[in-house]
Amino acid sequence: MEIGIDSFAGIDIRYGLPTAKDRSRAIHELLERIVHADRVGLDVFGIGEHHRDEFLDSAPHALLSAAAAQTQQIKLTSAVTVLSAADPVRVFQNYATLDLISEGRAGLVVGRGSFSESFPLFGYAFSDYDALFAEKLDLLLQIREKEILSWEGRFRPSLHAQKITPRPYQEKLPIWVGVGGTPASFIRAGQLGLPLMVAIIGGETHRFAPLVDLYRKAGAEAGFTPEELQVGIHSLGYVATTKEAAVADYFPGYQEAFSRIGKERGWPPVTRSRFDMQNSRLGAFLVADPEEVADKIVRHSQALGGLSRFSFQMDNAGLTHDQLMHSFELIAQQVKPIVLERLAASEGS
């Protein structure tokens, strides 16, 4: 199992919009954290895509390219690319270039996105949400397979024997599909034989098992092997020396951020009791000490029939740069070894 971090390049807007100097400092600290993640031995770092004041990830390939020039081993991926509102040709070119800079460490997680801002921003109707994604995913996959391509679709101008360059360093640029809780999305990923990244930001992780089963069944029926049908999880988490310290660090900022976003979406304000339920033994959150977090990752993997990747999303709770850096160390040096040891033991028994 690969263990890594997903970031939305968050920046604190509780006290007003940040200055240019604030934004620059936040990006430089993010790059420092990616370098640190590489140095301490984490496997993958993903950057999301949003077009909102509290996130600086509107151009994730640019951030990842800057990180690629400063790192050696860590995989660098989007998390996710909002493909419905993007041009697949440009997406492929951006990540093929990242792959060249990183000498084969680039990847993509593509999805429809959980926020709607990108659709009017780039001239698309949100009502075409799924049709846009299906068509653009088809084009992206064709570009991955063919350097010279003819293609016609509904939402993008046609391509006529068009050569698409550059080609990536890897023979086949990794493309995962990011999903939430829609059964059709799981089935589509399986039918295409693409690795699956499940965003579980609430509820109980084991409840996603029937959806993962749909994915694997659809993939098997389409002729793909179990090795091709990889499954990963993206979950909210933060690791500190003790569980009490982790919750004390994480909860106040989480409560503020999700109450603010929830107000936009009609959700009730975040309460401590609700957070504790989500952070309980079966809940999706992983805010605790290394031992408890490792136990949870292993339990989640077993509940979903085996995981290939687990990514923590933690820079959405107003945590300081130093807190995040320390958490990366604990995940790499304590959580990861426990997880790998216990998974190896279970496979050998």
pLDDT of residue 243 exceeding 90: yes
**H-state helical runs in 1-87:** 20-40, 60-68
Question: Mean of the pLDDT values across residues 221-246?
Answer: 97
**Residue 349's pLDDT is what?**
64
Structure tokens of 24? 């620059």
d(CA 177, CA 40): 27
What's the CATH number where 111 sits?
3.20.20.30
Question: Mean of the pLDDT values across residues 79-105?
Answer: 97
Rounded to a whole number of angstroms, the distance between the first and last alpha carbons of the chain is 18
**Residue 284's pLDDT is what?**
95
- Best CA proximity match to 11, nearest among 26, 31, 24, 32: 26
pLDDT band, residue 262 (cuts 50/70/90): confident
Model pLDDT for residues 165-191, shown as the tens digit of each residue: 999 999 999 999 999 989 999 999 999
- Best CA proximity match to 133, nearest among 84, 170, 100: 84
CB within 8 A of 2, min separation 6: which ones? 43, 44, 75, 232, 308, 309, 310
Residue showing tokens 């694997």: 216
Question: Mean of the pLDDT values across residues 277-283?
Answer: 94
CB within 8 A of 348, min separation 6: which ones? none
At 343, is the secondary structure helix, strand, or coil? helix
| Neighbouring-strand partners of residue 177 | 110, 196
Model pLDDT for residues 24-70, shown as the tens digit of each residue: 999 999 999 999 999 999 999 999 999 999 999 999 999 999 999 99
Query: What is the domain extent for residue 56?
Result: 2-348
Q: What value does the mean pLDDT of the chain take?
A: 95
**Residue 268's pLDDT is what?**
87
d(CA 123, CA 288): 42
Q: Which phi and psi (to 5°) does residue 28 adopt?
A: -65, -35
In this prediction the pTM is 0.96
Ranking 64-73, 238-247, 263-272 by mean pLDDT, the lowest is 263-272
**Residue 258's pLDDT is what?**
87
Structure tokens of 48? 């999301």
Give the pairing of strands 148-151 and 159-163.
Answer: antiparallel
Structure tokens of 259? 């109450």
pLDDT of residue 113 exceeding 90: no
Could you write out the DSSP letters of every residue in 245-277? HHHHHHHHHHHHHHHHHHHHHTPPPP-HHHHHH
d(CA 288, CA 296): 10
d(CA 268, CA 151): 46
Instruction: Give the total number of structural domains in the chain.
Output: 1
> Do residues 99 and 106 make contact, with C-beta atoms less than 8 angstroms apart?
yes
> Do residues 9 and 26 make contact, with C-beta atoms less than 8 angstroms apart?
yes
d(CA 336, CA 307): 14
d(CA 104, CA 160): 29
Angle between helix axes 88-102 and 60-68 (nearest 10 degrees) is 10
> Do residues 301 and 232 make contact, with C-beta atoms less than 8 angstroms apart?
no
CB within 8 A of 135, min separation 6: which ones? 153, 154, 155, 156
> Do residues 95 and 106 make contact, with C-beta atoms less than 8 angstroms apart?
yes
The sign of the torsion formed by the CA atoms of 19, 59, 315, 211 equals positive
